[in-house]
Amino acid sequence: MPYNITLIPGDGVGPEITEATTRALAATGVAIKWDIHQIGEAALKQYGTPLTLEVLQSIKKNKVALKGPVTTPIGTGFRSVNVALRQELDLYACLRPCKSYPGIKSRYENIDIVVVRENTEDLYAGIEFKKGAKDTTELIKFIAEKGQRKISADSGISIKPISERATRKIVTFAFDYARAHGRKKVTCVHKANIMKFSDGLFLATATKVAKSYPDIQFEDAIVDNLCMQLVTKPERYDIIVLPNLYGDIVSELCAGLVGGIGVVPSANIGDKVAVFEPVHGSAPKYAGRNKVNPMAMMLSAAMMLRHIREEKPAQRLESAIARTISEGKTVTYDLKADPNDPSIATTSAVADAVIKKLKEAR
């Protein structure tokens, strides 16, 4: 019986990396029946909304989705569909493994950091008040009446909720992941010295949860210091658990440590469903150019195979990608030292190379 899995090709470079990835998945021998849906710009054009009920129903029914990146207009237009999807499906944990693959030219080697990002709260909760709107004026008045700070009348406001419940869930997820994967240390990241009631709660809750895991080392770090430590001594870190916004930023920093965003996968995990996608965005300037690295999406697909307990095909896919990288012959521009290197491979050529290795390994 094939697995029924929802497939969302996404915007920009999404369709071409999705095509490369589904071809590689087919070569693993795992039978998958794709339930294909659009979200983002493509859905907006077709259905008048960037996120349809059908997509949510499909993911709820299939319980697993593979997703390409989706464009979010900056400043105006629709809210992030990615954020909405994570909230609608309560995909509370975002897992972003940042691992060095031999052959990638990077300042560091042997990095193996897993970023565990809370995915539903924080400044990404989407609670925003537009400059000059009636509600915003009332909120500014309310805050002044409560004796808090005077907020300038021409302000826009974003709210940062951090709850004990969601923090307990994400930190427990990080510790359980550490135990299940033989990891040694969890670092809780915050800015509790400044934001005492949001980040302070995150830290206090994490410290409580850590007490149930005496076998795993626990430490905390202030986010600005963490960034400095990460670029100077990245080998010190194992699992990093953070609220939503810091998690987004720090995971890109970690992607930079291992050679860039073209090789970093992610999983958005809830109690009932999971959505796998590359960390990178839709890179609109490269759309349709058969240029970008499909490996981040392929590695996300390998995470998806592990999630559905297809461990061996997952290992074979990851190892075919790792061998393609280490040979260095068929890799995209981002993995080449010289951007004008004539041997730079296209997206589809990388897929062909990975598939060839998968077939050789059978």
- Which residues are near ligand NAP by CB under 6 A? 69-72, 82, 261-262, 277, 280-284, 292-293, 296, 334
Give whichever of 22 and 198 is closer to ligand NAP, judged by the CB atom: 22
Exactly one of 33, 131, 196, 224 is catalytic; name it: 224
Indicate the residue type of 196: K
Give whichever of 199 and 334 is closer to ligand NAP, judged by the CB atom: 334
Q: Which two tokens stand for residue 18?
A: 């999705």
What is the largest distance, in Å, between two alpha-carbon atoms of the chain?
71
Exactly one of 124, 177, 237, 246 is catalytic; name it: 124
CB neighbour list of residue 325: distance below 8 Å, 6 or more residues apart = 101, 102, 103, 104, 263, 295, 331, 335
Q: Which residue is nearest to ligand NAP (CB)?
A: 281
Indicate the residue type of 346: T
Q: Which two tokens stand for residue 23?
A: 């071809």
Rounded least distance, CB 323 to ligand NAP, Å? 19
Give whichever of 163 and 290 is closer to ligand NAP, judged by the CB atom: 290
Given a contact cutoff of 8 angstroms between Cβ atoms, the answer to whether 239 and 183 are in contact is yes
Rounded least distance, CB 257 to ligand NAP, Å? 15
Exactly one of 11, 199, 248, 334 is catalytic; name it: 248
Q: Is 352 a catalytic residue?
A: no
Q: What is the DSSP letter of 25?
A: H
Rounded least distance, CB 215 to ligand NAP, Å? 34
Give whichever of 198 and 244 is closer to ligand NAP, judged by the CB atom: 244
Q: What is the DSSP letter of 77?
A: S
Exactly one of 191, 246, 291, 357 is catalytic; name it: 191
Rounded least distance, CB 232 to ligand NAP, Å? 23
Q: What are phi and psi of 201, to 5 degrees?
A: -70, -40
Q: Is 124 a catalytic residue?
A: yes
Residues serving a catalytic function are 124, 191, 224, 248
